[in-house]
Amino acid sequence: MSLTEEQKQKVADWIEDGAKPADVQSRLEAEFNLRVTYMEVRFLIDDLKVMPKDPTPPPVESPAEGAATDFPENPLPDEAGAQPQKVMEEGIPFLAEGEAGASKVDVQVDSITRPGAMVSGHATMSDGKKVDWYLDQYGRLGMVPPEPGYRPAQNDLIEFQAALEKELMKQGF
């Protein structure tokens, strides 16, 4: 492929403006009537010594100052002087020992871990359904429902995570 210096400069400008190799390939055909392969465009970009830019991520909106959040990082006692619940990293309330929630979840750890997991077990949700759970080598939590499409209640999931953490601590994990 042979391009004039003016065309090469135009391609370099496209890249600097954020065009991807596929965009350059399309524009070369549309503006210069040059049909080139994707690999040829990659070589051209390399020869021009320009680097395609990563797209800038959209700005993350932060809550307005003073806006109330469901789970503040440093909770203060309420007007009655009662201490709020402790909060785990993910914003899930950590139920204190003996503190009862709206649901009741029983978590058990298997004595023989299922293949491919670091630790596994089962949990009985408040609706009486038994789900199998496991933690893989990367620390990812997985649940195997008793039937396709089953999803435990949100309160059950919160209580399950807190109970699982306590049970794993007891067993030295």
Model pLDDT, residue 18: 84
CB within 8 A of 119, min separation 6: which ones? 109, 110, 113, 134, 135, 168, 173
Model pLDDT, residue 72: 47
Tell me the pTM: 0.42
Model pLDDT, residue 103: 52
Model pLDDT, residue 130: 93
Residue 63: closest CA among 53, 73, 55: 73
Q: Which positions of the chain have pLDDT values less than 70? A: 1, 54-56, 62-103
Model pLDDT, residue 74: 47
